[in-house]
Chains A and B, each alone.
Chain A
């Protein structure tokens, strides 16, 4: 059976030579028949990979389910933290006026577009053995990944929340105050009024971190069974040529994002139309 050898060229794996019956053909001089045979073998291998990926999913393969579990746990906890901090911060920024607010807002907007890998770098330096929090020993653990993802999602959640709260009718805020609402009660009412926007903020935060790869790769280290998540697994499997498995992980990632969004939108819709 002919076998293809690859060579790493400028970061990509390219077909280099083919060996059949102990004869080596450089790829450009390979007989057409051999190339065809190889293509057929490769196709079969890919089909097998897809079947294997499905098998991995359906047989509750611990490798796959561990990766899904780590992904959901890391991004879920990070989303929870960023929501708990981001929604109050966004609401305060949306409802109050103070000196330096334009500066804080500009900072937040910068954070919304900040490259996650740079945040990963900062968190890496923070938790590295010589970093200020190196003694915690969090580097290459899910704790560091949660920290990085919380920092990535926070500006998204608070920025979108601020924009949503800003759109709440100012007359309503005055009216609530005139009805005797405390600042906290009026703020809570504003969040409820802007609930669609706040939901978008949470979805944006989740979308930003579940699909993020650079930061988790840096601070998590992609350790199998510990810090490997769907995105880093896709990178690894693709590099190893296991395209079927990589695609399967991609489908899982897309499905998780879709289900999460659908759940949130459905809950919101139910809440919106419950009183109509």
Chain B
């Protein structure tokens, strides 16, 4: 877990009435990095910056050794295509489940090999849905399809924006297992936003707390939950932060 994928330095992103400032943050290959924090803390904004979907006002993001400073006008397609995000609400195309899953391969002009994709599909328990329209799926099924679509092209960075927030325990378990297995096999960088402390404990390697656009604490999972350095983290974990 020593090889860095991201190195973020003095990053500043401004919105009316809100600022996200990341002084110094490194993300490593093969780790699952969990982000906790209250709503509106800046977690999703950071995820969008990591996916190069937005530009920062100041600072640098160094990704796989390449420096993408705030004034980069466009990000190279081949860089953006190594990264993907799974959002809280699965947004699927009005098409069959199969066509949704292979969409990332189609746009990359990659060969679609059904035999290669089927193990992923079976593991997510959606092999019986392939011919169905995406509009007939339940919330849990749709999120599993979104997960298959994100993993089908083997991204080097997997960004998860509360993907299990609206799901039942069975679906949560399937998705957690899939992500941890993918992380172990392919060693990508996984950044997982969650509001569930127990989920962060279950799946994460390192955990961080963001509040008010600033990183409060980043540490190994055990330290973070059992012996946090910051008072704010203690307050957050005990639930006192909200009162």
The interface size of chain B toward A, counting residues with CB under 8 Å, comes to 30
**Residue pair A169, B91 in contact (C-beta under 8 Å):** yes
- Is B81 an interface residue, CB under 8 A from the partner? yes
Given contacts A169-B91, A176-B103, A180-B80, 8 further A-B contacts (CB under 8 A): A172-B93, A174-B87, A174-B91, A178-B84, A179-B84, A180-B104, A192-B94, A276-B136
A273 to B51, CA, bound (A): 34
- B85 contacts the other chain (Cβ, under 8 Å)? yes
Nearest chain B CB to A178 CB, angstrom units: 4
Is A189 among interface residues, defined by CB-CB distance under 8 A? yes
Mark each residue of chain B from 151 to 164: 1 if its CB lies under 8 Å from any CB of chain A, else 0. Answer: 00100000100000
A-B contact pairs, 7 of them (CB 8 A): A174-B53, A174-B87, A175-B146, A178-B53, A179-B103, A180-B84, A180-B104
- Measured CA separation A275–B108 after assembly (Å): 23
**1/0 per residue B73-97: CB within 8 Å of A?**
0000100110111010101111110
| Given A275-B99, A275-B133, A180 contacting B91 (CB threshold 8 A) | no
Q: Give Cα A273 to B135, complex, Å.
A: 11
**B223 within 8 Å of A by Cβ?**
no
Task: Choose one: A174, A179, A182; the contact of B104 (CB below 8 Å).
Answer: A179
Chain A positions 207-222 with a Cβ under 8 Å from a chain B Cβ = none
Question: Of the candidates B51, B94, B99, which one forms a contact with A193 in the assembled complex, judged by CB atoms under 8 Å apart?
Answer: B94
State whether the Cβ of A181 lies closer than 8 Å to any Cβ in chain B. yes
Q: Residue on A with the closest CB to B134?
A: A275
Contact B77 A182, beta carbon cutoff 8 Å: yes
Answer whether residue A167 sits at the interface, using C-beta atoms and an 8 A cutoff.
Answer: no
CB neighbours of A169 from chain B (8 A): 91
Q: Which residues of A have CB within 8 Å of B133?
A: 273, 275-276
CB of A135 within 8 Å of the partner chain: no
Which B residues touch A181, using CB under 8 A? Answer: 107
Give residues in A with beta carbon < 8 Å to B.
Answer: 169, 171-172, 174-182, 185, 189, 192-193, 273, 275-276
Residue with the highest number of chain B CB atoms closer than 10 Å, among A172, A189, A275: A275
| Most chain A beta-carbon contacts within 10 A, residue among B92, B94, B103 | B94
How many angstroms from the CA of A172 to the CA of B146 in the assembled complex?
A: 11
In the bound complex, CA of A275 to CA of B91 (Å) = 18
Q: What is the interface of chain B, defined by CB distance below 8 A to chain A?
A: 51, 53, 77, 80-81, 83-85, 87, 89, 91-96, 99, 103-104, 107-108, 131-133, 136, 146, 149-150, 153, 159
Inter-subunit contact B87/A171 (CB<8 Å) = yes
Given A178-B51, A181-B107, A182-B107, also A171-B91 (CB < 8 A)? yes
Bound-complex Cα distance A181 to B85 (A):
13
What residue in chain B is nearest A170 (Cβ atoms)?
B91
Contact A175 B94 (CB under 8 A): no
Known: A174-B53, A180-B107. A192 touches B93 (CB 8 A): yes
- Sorted nearest first, the 5 A-B pairs with minimum C-beta distance are A275-B96, A180-B81, A172-B91, A178-B85, A175-B91
In the assembled complex, which residues on chain B have CB atoms less than 8 Å from the CB atom of A177?
53
A172 to B131, CA, bound (A): 21
B146 to chain A: closest residue by CB:
A175
Instruction: Enumerate chain A residues within 8 angstroms of B104, measured Cβ to Cβ.
Output: 179-180
Please state if B87 and A185 are interface contacts (CB–CB under 8 Å). no
| Cα distance A4–B26 in the bound complex, in angstroms | 98
Determine if B84 and A275 form an interchain contact, defined as CB atoms under 8 angstroms apart. Answer: no
A180 proximity list for chain B (CB < 8 A):
77, 80-81, 84, 104, 107-108, 153
- Whether A175 pairs with B136 at a CB distance below 8 angstroms is no
Residues on A with C-beta less than 8 A from B146 are 175
In the bound complex, do residue A179 and residue B149 qualify as a contact, i.e. CB atoms below 8 Å apart? Answer: yes
Distance in angstroms between the alpha carbons of A276 and B135 in the assembled complex: 9
**Contact call B53/A179, Cβ cutoff below 8 A:** no
How far does the alpha carbon of A142 sit from the alpha carbon of B153 in the complex, in Å? 52
| A175→B132 contact, CB < 8 A | no
A193 to B135 alpha-carbon distance, docked (Å): 12
Closest Cβ–Cβ distance, residue A254 to chain B (whole Å): 33
